[in-house]
Amino acid sequence: MFAADIRDFVARQGLAGAVVVNVASTEPAPADGSLPPSSLYAAAALRAGCPYVNFTPSTGLHHPALAALAESSGLPYAGRDGKTGQTLLRSVLGPMFLQRALAVRAWSGTNLLGGGDGAALADPAAAAAKNAGKERVLADTLGAAPEGEVHIDDVPALGDWKTAWDHIAFDGFLGSRMILQTIWQGCDSALAAPLVLDLARLAVRAREKGLSGPLGELGFYFKDPVGDGPSSLAEQYTELKRFADRLRDDAETHEAHR
Amino acid sequence: MFAADIRDFVARQGLAGAVVVNVASTEPAPADGSLPPSSLYAAAALRAGCPYVNFTPSTGLHHPALAALAESSGLPYAGRDGKTGQTLLRSVLGPMFLQRALAVRAWSGTNLLGGGDGAALADPAAAAAKNAGKERVLADTLGAAPEGEVHIDDVPALGDWKTAWDHIAFDGFLGSRMILQTIWQGCDSALAAPLVLDLARLAVRAREKGLSGPLGELGFYFKDPVGDGPSSLAEQYTELKRFADRLRDDAETHEAHR
Amino acid sequence: MFAADIRDFVARQGLAGAVVVNVASTEPAPADGSLPPSSLYAAAALRAGCPYVNFTPSTGLHHPALAALAESSGLPYAGRDGKTGQTLLRSVLGPMFLQRALAVRAWSGTNLLGGGDGAALADPAAAAAKNAGKERVLADTLGAAPEGEVHIDDVPALGDWKTAWDHIAFDGFLGSRMILQTIWQGCDSALAAPLVLDLARLAVRAREKGLSGPLGELGFYFKDPVGDGPSSLAEQYTELKRFADRLRDDAETHEAHR
Amino acid sequence: MFAADIRDFVARQGLAGAVVVNVASTEPAPADGSLPPSSLYAAAALRAGCPYVNFTPSTGLHHPALAALAESSGLPYAGRDGKTGQTLLRSVLGPMFLQRALAVRAWSGTNLLGGGDGAALADPAAAAAKNAGKERVLADTLGAAPEGEVHIDDVPALGDWKTAWDHIAFDGFLGSRMILQTIWQGCDSALAAPLVLDLARLAVRAREKGLSGPLGELGFYFKDPVGDGPSSLAEQYTELKRFADRLRDDAETHEAHR
């Protein structure tokens, strides 16, 4: 039914095609095997012949019941969970500590945000889904998860503005204790919008080039990327540029063939 | 005379050789063409047959009058200005903003430190030499130097501990203004020590392998590296690992030849 | 039984008397009417003829079942919950906003601490008891509790050092939004020790002067003071000085009578 | 001539009177004995029969050559240098450290601001005039000026928004070193406007009541108040409320006399 809605939309608007991007509020991790709403929409996207991008930590295609469909659809997909603020920072700071052999002992964080996102994440189950992605970035870039918690507070007075404080305790030579703190004051929707535009274009282009399955080359955009690419932002950027070149080269090849 | 001192030292201690690392307090940029003390010591190192590493922003070998000596010595050298704290951070944050197309409008910083380093940098000429390196990192990683100043305050009460506050104003989608602030509380000597050990070992090894001239592959360690390598820490790290592999491979080849 | 222990201690040590100060880890708020350990010790102190000071948020004498004993004992007592760090700051910043008619919209805070205190407060019930005092200070100084939460995280890597981050969103003229953030890095035991010494001396002196019941004049030291004194630190300090003068004047009067 | 302009203005507008408030950009401290522009305007205000308020650190009436005029004018005046942001904070934090016997070892600060104010304060002479007031507040509230500098940077990209970072190193029990940092993000004009309105009303009312000379009771508003009132904000507020009551009571007395 969702799939029919998408096909109707494409037909009514006279479009060549569509790409489905999930930017809805984070949903709680689903109980046992049931399919959450984000998965129903993801399946509909593929059934309607659309590439799919999951910009949230919600389940989407990340569910065993959808593995066969994802495989047989012949469509490209990407996700999960856009890396816009605190986690973006973590994905460059984590590698810095590792490369300098500075042992991170504790990494703690608090996020304050209002707007719909704050209210959605005031639900502990939704926050748990969100935090899993944040922690994965640390564990992946540092080799192991350090001590420390992440809080997400709904503070309606802040509206769409988010403040993220991070406190990192690390040890230098001979165990000397040092501290780095970061304070990020950003607007998530303004940070997400250009990434969503990029992703929509890249997904469409990937489909045009006949690519299918998980687009692991897009890890630059995500907290918990599909595939098994690198976790440091710098390496993800190198991979993204290589991928973009490939999509472009293909294009030139293609045009030469006409 | 300095060169004779170094040769005597090596002889008296029965050493196979030595490497000279400048970790003295920053000296003011030299007036016109005169050779400052750091350059006299650097020249002495080469004359005594020692690889030379300049861990400070002082002139060292970076002087036209020493170009011929540096070339003819057949020795490797590296520098300038160890990247331990605030600039280390800048070398990972700068590329992040660039890769995400977040336009940095202003990058301001204040450093508080006591100890001998704080006192030396209370001299405006020494501070100017130090700040030139910090600003170069931003200009190199961002493409152009943003607005903003850097202050270095001598605060004896802080002893060997340094606090660096950075305030970065950047613009996101549709010009939305956002702010990142970082507070780094570190001990410069504990941060510098392992880098100095690395550099001494790498310089000795480079000499054993017959390398000479500027070791551009060591940009990972410096604010203002010799040669023209990349300015982002992640790319510098990749280059360093490749260089280390080369030094190791050479070793194996060498041993195979015995 | 506890009371006998205290009397024995005084007798064995040949002391003129003792004062009992509760500096044990915070206990969870007690279920219904049962007497928690802190109350059993508080009652024992009074039965042993000792002034009592509760430096923690635990119940202590703050229990209906102990009201009659507190009254009949003829002894002075003080509490609750020493104001050492984040709340100390709040008790001077809150009045500042109020006096300048700057409307506080949200006040959020995160505390990171290791040591025994961090472990004790990782228990949500103990943290709830602790946070109640922190929030009371804001509600009392601002007139109403603003939006915002307080987190207490156990971060063993920090040992006895505590870091408290506060984020305050307030509105100025014509609703212009402004932000104050504070970062407090302190050692709770070093902050508490001199307050505990003060309190022990003041409580003994109060008893010598024949004072009994709640010492409301000691609000300077507490998050949730007995009695109904002022909540701004400045006014509490004025009251404390007046009280100290009174204790001293009494002394002089007394000596004059000899 | 300025005085005639003011009298003309009052006459043309049909006003009962006027009050002159200096909110112009900070001027450099004047060389030797010459009268700077702010003093010429201040003198004109008194000659035109207007109460005068100096909301800036500029000289205004604070000049020996104007002492006789100030005395003979029979008019009330107030100043200097509105206390809106960083110094407001310092005037509540300073007393807190003093009252808790926490020895402040160093107090360092950096202010980033754009707009006209930033440009004016990029002039070192103007900045020196501004900083003198900030340092006086610390010296007055702490008893002695601690180590540390204050920087004021012109950062045009920040527009009318100001960010002030303060770093305070203090010692607790047995010399344990602790740190407080504050970050104030405010809009100076929105902070100043209501204070200016208050001051204009209070000055007019003071004149109606026949008060003349320096209004020392208005120290609540200023970094460097005329007269010799208290320096802690809390005491200044108490004094302000008492003064406001006096102005109100006088009014009632006055009306009763009609």
DSSP-derived pairing of the beta strands A177-187 and B177-187: antiparallel
| Subunit contact B157:D106, Cβ cutoff 8 A | yes
Following DSSP, what letter does each residue of D90-139 receive, concatenated?
Answer: HHHHHHHHHHTT-EEEEEEEEEEE-HHHHHHHTSHHHHHHHHHHHHHHHH
Give yes or no for a contact between D127 and D153, defined as CB atoms under 8 angstroms apart. Answer: no
Segment holding B128, helix H or strand E = helix B124-142
* Residue C176 identity (one-letter amino acid): S
Domain D86-189 falls under CATH 3.40.190.10: no
Question: A172 at the C interface (CB within 8 A)?
Answer: no
Question: C-chain residues within 8 Å CB-CB of D241?
Answer: none
Q: What is the mean pLDDT of residues C214-239?
A: 92
d(CA A50, CA B161): 56
CB contact under 8 A, D106 and B148: no
Gyration radius of chain A's alpha carbons: 20
B181 to chain A, any CB pair closer than 8 A? The answer is yes
Cα–Cα distance measured from residue B93 to residue A92, given in angstroms and rounded to the nearest whole number: 7
B245 touches chain D (CB under 8 A): no
Considering CB atoms only, which of D106, D181, D185 is closest to B183? D181
The percent of residues above 90 in pLDDT, for chain C, comes to 73
pLDDT value for C136: 81
Contact C158 A169 (CB under 8 A): yes
Give the closest-approach CA distance of B5 to chain A in angstroms: 31
CA atoms of A202 and A215, how far apart (whole Å): 10
b/e burial code for range D225-257 (CB count within 10 A of at least 16 → b):
bbeebbbbbbbbbbbbeebeeebeebeeeeeee
- What CA–CA distance (Å, rounded) separates C125 from C103? 31
Please indicate if any CB of chain B lies within 8 Å of the CB of A139: no
Residue C234's closest chain D neighbor by CA?
D234
Nearest chain A residue to C104 by CA: give it.
Answer: A157
C155 close to A147: Cβ distance less than 8 angstroms? yes
Contact list in B for residue A179 (CB cut-off 8 A) is 183-186
Q: Do D112 and B108 touch (CB under 8 A)?
A: yes
* pLDDT at C251 (0 to 100): 54
Establish if A158 touches chain C: CB-CB under 8 angstroms: yes
At A250 the pLDDT is 57
Architecture of domain A86-186: 2-Layer Sandwich (3.30)
Question: Which of A100, A181, A233 lies at the smallest CB-CB distance from B183?
Answer: A181
Residue of B nearest to D163 (CA): B167
**A154 to chain C, closest Cα gap in Å:** 8
- CA–centroid distance for C114 within its chain: 21
Lowest-confidence range among A112-116, A203-207, B47-51, C72-76? Answer: A112-116
Tell whether B173 is within 8 A of chain A (Cβ). Answer: yes
Residue C252: its pLDDT value, please?
Answer: 52
Half-sphere exposure of C103 (CA within 13 A, CB side): 10
- Predicted confidence at residue A67, as pLDDT, reads 94
The pLDDT of residue C35 is: 92
pLDDT digits (tens, 9 = 90+) for D179-203: 999 999 999 999 999 999 999 999 9
Tell me the three state secondary structure of residue C167.
strand
Is the model's pLDDT at A34 over the cut of 60?
yes
Measured between alpha carbons, how far is A35 from A2 in angstroms, rounded to an integer? 14
**Residue length, chain A?**
258
Residues of B whose CB is below 8 A from A173: 190-191, 193-194
Distances (CA, A) of A177 to B88, B195, C185, D27: 17, 17, 14, 45
SS3 sequence of chain A: CHHHHHHHHHHHHCCCCCCEEECCCCCCCCCCCCCCHHHHHHHHHHHCCCCEEECCCCCCCCCHHHHHHHHHCCCEEEECCECCCHHHHHHHHHHHHHHCCCEEEEEEEEEEECHHHHHHHCCHHHHHHHHHHHHHHHHHHHCCCCECCEEEEECHHHCCEEEEEEEEEEECHHHCEEEEEEEEEEEHHHHHHHHHHHHHHHHHHHHHCCCCEECHHHHHHECCCCCCCCCCHHHHHHHHHHHHHHHHHHHHHHHHHC
| Cβ–Cβ under 8 Å, residues A227 and B212 | no
Residue-level pLDDT at A137:
83
Interface partners of chain A (CB pairs < 8 Å, 3 or more) are: B, C
Report the pLDDT value the prediction gives residue D255, as an integer from 0 to 100. Answer: 46
CB contact under 8 A, D172 and C187: yes
Q: D23 in contact with C at a CB cutoff of 8 Å?
A: no
Task: Give the whole-number percent of chain B exceeding pLDDT 90.
Answer: 73
How far is residue B162 CA from its own chain's centroid? 18
- Among the partner-chain residues B149, B155, B156, the one whose CB lies closest to the CB of D153 is B149
Per the CB < 8 A criterion, the answer to whether A145 and A135 are in contact is: yes
What is the rounded CA–CA span in Å between residue B103 and residue B147?
A: 12
The first and second tokens of residue C58, run together, are: 């635990």
**Quick check: C89 pLDDT over 90?**
yes
Strand, coil or helix: B178: strand
Residue D72 sits at the chain B interface (C-beta within 8 Å): no
Residue B15 phi, psi (nearest 5): -90, 155
Taking the CA of residue B182 and the nearest CA in chain A, the distance in Å comes to: 4
- Find the CB nearest B235 among A178, A220, A234: A234
Residue C147: which of A147, A156, A165 has the nearest Cβ? Answer: A156
Give A99's contacts in chain B (Cβ within 8 Å): 220, 233-234, 237
For the stretch B3-25, pLDDT in tens is 999 999 999 999 999 999 999 98
pLDDT per residue over A222-241, tens digit each? 999 998 888 889 899 999 99
Cross-chain residue pair D110–B110, CB shorter than 8 Å: yes
Task: Note the pLDDT of residue A119.
Answer: 80
**CB contact, 8 Å: D159 with chain C?**
no
Contacts of D151 in chain B (CB under 8 A): 110, 149, 151
* Residue B255 pLDDT exceeds 50: no
pLDDT tens for residues B54-105?
999 999 999 999 999 999 999 999 999 999 988 899 999 999 999 999 999 9
Amino acid at C235: E
Backbone angles phi, psi at C99, to 5 degrees: -65, -30
D chain contacts of residue C92, beta-carbon cutoff 8 Å? 92-93, 95-96, 234
Task: Answer whether D2 touches C (CB < 8 Å).
Answer: no
Whether residue D29 has pLDDT greater than 60: yes
3-state class (DSSP) for residue D178? strand
Q: Is the peptide bond before C80 cis (omega within 30 degrees of 0)?
A: yes
CB A181 within 8 A of CB B183: yes
Instruction: Tell whether D96 is within 8 A of chain C (Cβ).
Output: yes
Q: Residue A81: what pLDDT?
A: 93
Torsion from C-alpha of A9, A11, A17, A23, nearest 10 degrees: 0
**Residue A114 tokens, joined:** 């209002």
* Planar angle of CA C33, C36, C41, nearest 5 degrees: 130
**What is the C-alpha separation between A208 and A228, in angstroms, rounded?**
23
What is the SS3 assignment for B1? coil
Query: Residue C231 has what pLDDT?
Result: 86
Out of D157, D165, D169, the one facing B105 most closely (by C-beta) is D157
Residue B251: is its pLDDT beyond 60? no
What percentage of residues in chain C have a pLDDT greater than 70?
97
* pLDDT tens readout for residues A86-138: 889 999 999 999 999 999 999 999 999 988 777 887 778 878 877 777 778 88
Interface with chain C: mutation pick from A86, A97, A108, highest number of C CBs within 10 Å = A108
Distance from CA of A134 to the nearest CA of B (A): 17
Judge whether residue C1 has pLDDT over 80: no
Question: Is A215 a residue whose pLDDT tops 80?
Answer: yes
Contact D117, D188 (CB under 8 A): yes
- When CB atoms are compared, the residue of C96, C173, C185 closest to D178 is C185
Which residue in D187, D220, D232 is closest to C172 by CB distance?
D187
Specify the pLDDT at position A251.
54
The answer to whether D29 contacts chain B (CB < 8 Å) is no
CA angle B200, B201, B205 (to 5 degrees): 120
Tell me whether the omega of the peptide bond preceding residue D80 falls within 30 degrees of 0, making it cis: yes
Tell me which residue in D96, D176, D237 faces C190 most closely, judged by beta carbons: D176
Residues of B in contact with A237 (CB under 8 A): 95, 99
Name all chains with 3 or more CB-CB pairs below 8 Å to chain B: A, D
Any CB–CB contact under 8 A between B92 and chain D?
Answer: no
Q: Which CATH class is domain C86-187?
A: alpha beta
Give C-chain residues touching D179 at CB under 8 angstroms.
Answer: 183-186
pLDDT attached to residue C193 = 96
DSSP string of C36-89? PHHHHHHHHHHHTT--EEE-SSS-TT-SGGGHHHHHHT--EEEES-B--SHHHH
Q: Could you say which of C176, C233, C234 has the minimum Cβ distance to residue D235?
A: C234
**Average confidence (pLDDT) over B211-232:** 93
pLDDT range class, residue B252, cuts 50, 70, 90:
low
Whether residue B200 contacts residue B60, with contact meaning beta carbons closer than 8 Å, is answered with no
Mean pLDDT of D32-49: 93
Q: Which chain B residue shows the shortest CA-CA distance from A233?
A: B96
B153: how many CB neighbours lie within 10 A of its CB? 25
Can you tell me the mean pLDDT for C154-160?
A: 94
Contacts of A148 in chain C (CB under 8 A): 112, 153, 155
Q: Are C39 and C67 in contact (CB under 8 A)?
A: no
3-state SS assignment for residue D162: strand
Could you tell me the pLDDT band of residue D126, with boundaries at 50, 70 and 90? confident
Q: What is the pLDDT of residue C133?
A: 73
Note whether D20 and D50 are within 8 A (CB).
yes
What is the model's pTM? 0.92
pLDDT at A254 over 70: no
How many beta carbons lie within 10 A of that of residue C250, not counting itself?
16
Rounded average pLDDT over A159-181: 95
Phi, psi values for residue C239, rounded to 5°: -65, -40
Greater model confidence, D127 or D244 = D244
Tokens of D148: 């540390």
Spatial separation of the C-alpha atoms in residues D161 and D185, rounded to whole Å: 7
Sequence ranges of the domains in chain D:
2-82+191-257, 86-189
User: Which stretches does DSSP call E strand in chain D?
Assistant: 20-22, 52-54, 76-79, 103-113, 150-154, 161-171, 177-187, 213-214
CA within 13 Å, CB half, B123: 13
Tokens linked to C66: 């102990």
A212 and A75 in contact (C-beta within 8 Å)? yes
Tens digit of each residue's pLDDT (9 = 90 or more) over D136-194: 888 888 988 999 999 999 999 999 899 999 999 999 999 999 999 999 999 999 999 99
Closest CB from B173, B191, B237 relative to A194? B173
The superfamily CATH assigns to domain D2-82+191-257 is NAD(P)-binding Rossmann-like Domain (3.40.50.720)
